[in-house]
Amino acid sequence: MKIKNIFLTLAVAVAGSACSDWFDVSPKTDIKTEDLYKDETGFQSALTGCYGRMTKDELYGKDLTWYFIEKLVQRYDDTEGNLAGQNTNVYDYTDNDHAKGYMLSIWGNMYQTIANVNNLLTYLDKNGQEVINTPGAWELMKGEALALRAFLHFDLLRMYGPIYKENSEMACIPYRKEFKPEKSPLLSASKVIELVLADLEEADKYLAQDSVNWGNNSTYPFGSFRGHRMNKYAAKALQARVHLYRGNSEDLVEATRLAKEVIDSCGLQLVRDNSKDISMFDETVFGLHMDDMDDRVEVYFNTEEGDAGQALWVKLERGQEMFEANTSTGINDIRFKSGYGFYFGGTKGMMVRKYLTSNEPAYNEKIPLIRLGEMYLIAAEASGDVTYLNALRNARGISSRYDVAAVTEEALDAEYRKEFFAEGQYFYFLKRHAMKNFYGCPESLQGKMSAFQYVFPLPDDEKEYNQQ
C-alpha cells in the first residue's frame, strides 16, 4: 500500500463504539475529523482506535506476534499453507506467494496506524486542551500517542532496518511526525533511533504523573487497566529496549538503569504460575486486548485439529529440546510444562497456550508486547549481572542448582528462545546479535543467516521515490 493512499482512508474509532467499528476521514474535507475531536470522548475514541488498529492480523493481532515473525524463526511444525513450518519459503522475500506479501501489508498497515497517531497528536495540540476537561487527561493522551509513535517506528526499524552493529548508517525507513499525504525520505538507522528516543523522552514528561493503575479506576474509567495502554513504565521499558538495541557503552548504562527502574518501581512481579494467566498478563507492562481473539485464532490454535493442517503444533521432541526439558534443567519450566506454557496433545505434539482460552476470563484475549521478564534480560545483558538472568530462570521454575555462571550470548539465546515463544521477539534478538544460526534453522541456512534473511526489503514504490 502506498503511503500517499493511506491518508485517504484514515480510520479512527467512533465515539462510544467498539474498536472494530470504523469510519473514513479525508484530510481534504476534514469535516468528520472535526466532529470526532469536538469533545473528550472523541479524543478517547481516537486513541482507543489506534490501539484497536494494532490488533489487525497484519500487525500485532497475528503477523507481528505469533504468526509471520515467528515463522521466520521456524517455531512451528504445521503442514499446510504457503508458510508451512520448517521450510525456507518464508525467507523468499521476492515472492508474493510467500513472504513479500506479508512484508508489504505490514509496512502499509504500520504507517497507516502511525497516520492515525499523528492525526490524534495534531488535534491534541490544535484544540485538545480546550475540550479535554478531566485533569491530567490531555497530558496522558499526549504522552501515550508520542510513545506509540516511537513504538511503531522502532518495530519498523527492527524489521526493515539493517543489522545495526554492521551498518547503522544504512538508509532504511521514514520517520513520519506529521499527518500529510506526501512521502518522506528514508533516514539512516542511527537517525531513526535518535527520533525514537526523542519521542520517548518527550512522552516521559507528559506521562510523569501517570498513576499507572493496573486494575480498575472507578473514578476515571479511561484511566483503568493501564497494562493495555502505553503507560509510564511501558515508555521506560521501550527506552530500555531501544538503548540496548543501539548498544554503545553509554546506551548499556542507560538500558540497565531504565530496566532496573521498571523492575523496582512498576509494581508488577514475575509470573511464577501461568496455568490460568496463560499470556503472563500479570507481568505485562504493555499489551493489547483483542475482543474477538477466539474467532480470529481458532484455525491456528485449536487443540481439536488433527496432525496435519494450519494448526500451530510443535513436535514434542523439538519442544523438549527447545526448552531444555529433555534434561533436568527445564523439566519444571512453566514456559514448557503441560497445562502451563503448553497444551500437550498426545500424538499431535504440543501447542502454546498463550492464545488459547483460559478458564479464568480475566486472562483471556491478551496480546503481550512488553513484559517484565524482558526487563530482567535487558538488565542482565546490558550490565553483565547474571543475577537478573538467574532470577528470571528461577521464577519460571528452573532450580537454582542450574543457575548459569555468566551472561553469555548462548545463555541469552536460550532464554529469549523460551521466554518469547509466539510473541515475536526472538527474531529481533537473533538479528541484533547477527546470529548465523539458531535452534530450528533450516539445514541449508545453518551458519549462513545474514542480512539477506534479517532485513526486510522496502516496498518497490518506496525505493523508487527515494531514488529520484
Q: For residue range 72-95, list pLDDT tens digits in order.
A: 999 999 988 888 888 898 999 988
- Dihedrals φ, ψ of 229, to 5°? -135, 160
Residue 25's pLDDT is 39
Residue 32's pLDDT is 63
- Dihedrals φ, ψ of 88, to 5°? -100, 0
Query: Do residues 316 and 303 make contact, with C-beta atoms less than 8 angstroms apart?
Result: no
Is the pLDDT at 8 greater than 60? The verdict is no
Percent of the chain whose predicted confidence (pLDDT) is above 90: 81
Query: Do residues 298 and 356 make contact, with C-beta atoms less than 8 angstroms apart?
Result: no
Residue 28's pLDDT is 37
At 211-254, the pLDDT tens digits run 999 998 888 889 999 999 999 999 999 999 999 999 999 999 99
Query: Do residues 186 and 172 make contact, with C-beta atoms less than 8 angstroms apart?
Result: yes
Enter the C-alpha cell of residue 100.
513479500
Q: Which of 238, 165, 253, 156 is nearest to 433 (CA)?
A: 165
β-pair type (22-25, 284-289): unpaired
At 129-148, the pLDDT tens digits run 999 999 999 999 999 999 99
At 334-381, the pLDDT tens digits run 999 999 999 998 788 999 999 999 989 999 999 999 999 999 999 999
**What confidence tier does 288 reach under pLDDT thresholds 50, 70, 90?**
very high
Range of lowest pLDDT (174-188, 405-419, 441-455): 174-188
Cβ burial, residue 198 (10 Å; 0-12/13-18/19+): middle
Is the pLDDT at 62 greater than 60? The verdict is yes
Is the pLDDT at 24 greater than 70? The verdict is no
DSSP string, 41-93: HHHHHHHHHHHHHTTSTTTTTTTTTTSHHHHTTT-----SSTT-SSSSGGG-T
Is the pLDDT at 125 greater than 80? The verdict is yes
Query: Do residues 241 and 219 make contact, with C-beta atoms less than 8 angstroms apart?
Result: no
**d(C-alpha 36, C-alpha 12), whole Å:** 9
The structure's pTM equals: 0.93
**d(C-alpha 405, C-alpha 385), whole Å:** 10
At 251-280, the pLDDT tens digits run 999 999 999 999 999 999 999 999 999 999
Residue 307's pLDDT is 52
Question: What is the dihedral sign for C-alpha 147, 152, 157, 158?
Answer: positive
Q: Which helix (H) or strand (E) holds 443?
A: none
At 177-200, the pLDDT tens digits run 998 777 889 999 999 999 999 999
Residue 5's pLDDT is 36
Residue 16's pLDDT is 34
Residue 20's pLDDT is 34
Residue 27's pLDDT is 37
- Dihedrals φ, ψ of 366, to 5°? -110, 140
Enter the C-alpha cell of residue 430.
537473533
